[in-house]
Amino acid sequence: MVCSSVKVGQNCLFMSKKGCGFNGGTCHIIVEACEGCQKAVQYPVGKYCISFPDPAAKWHTGNCSMATHLEATTKKETAKVNPLKASKRQGR
């Protein structure tokens, strides 16, 4: 159903005729770590995530899995380096 409280006009699974059914009855504002993410959208009442109603929970156990602003750094960090080949390269 279309949200009529915070993310006005956006389709939401938590919205019903009785109002927002999410924990606390409303979405929660983004956290500092969300700044720069393309999914953080400014609404008249504040900045909210278009994917998750509680952004703080997404960052609770590490990086948010849907964050768009972490993609470049995450790929670099996960590039595997074979220590044996790396030491051979240094020797050249």
Which residues make up the interface to ligand SF4 (CB under 6 A)? Answer: 30, 34, 37, 39-40, 49, 51-52, 55, 58, 64, 66-67
| Identity of the residue, 6 or 49, whose beta carbon is nearer to ligand SF4 in the bound complex | 49
Give the shortest CB-59-to-ligand SF4 separation in angstroms.
7
DSSP 59: T
| Identity of the residue, 62 or 91, whose beta carbon is nearer to ligand SF4 in the bound complex | 62
10 Å CB burial of residue 22 (0-12, 13-18, 19+) is middle
Find the DSSP H helices in the chain.
55-58, 71-78, 83-91
Tokens of 24: 């606390």
Give the shortest CB-61-to-ligand SF4 separation in angstroms.
13
| Identity of the residue, 32 or 85, whose beta carbon is nearer to ligand SF4 in the bound complex | 32
Tokens of 83: 């220590």
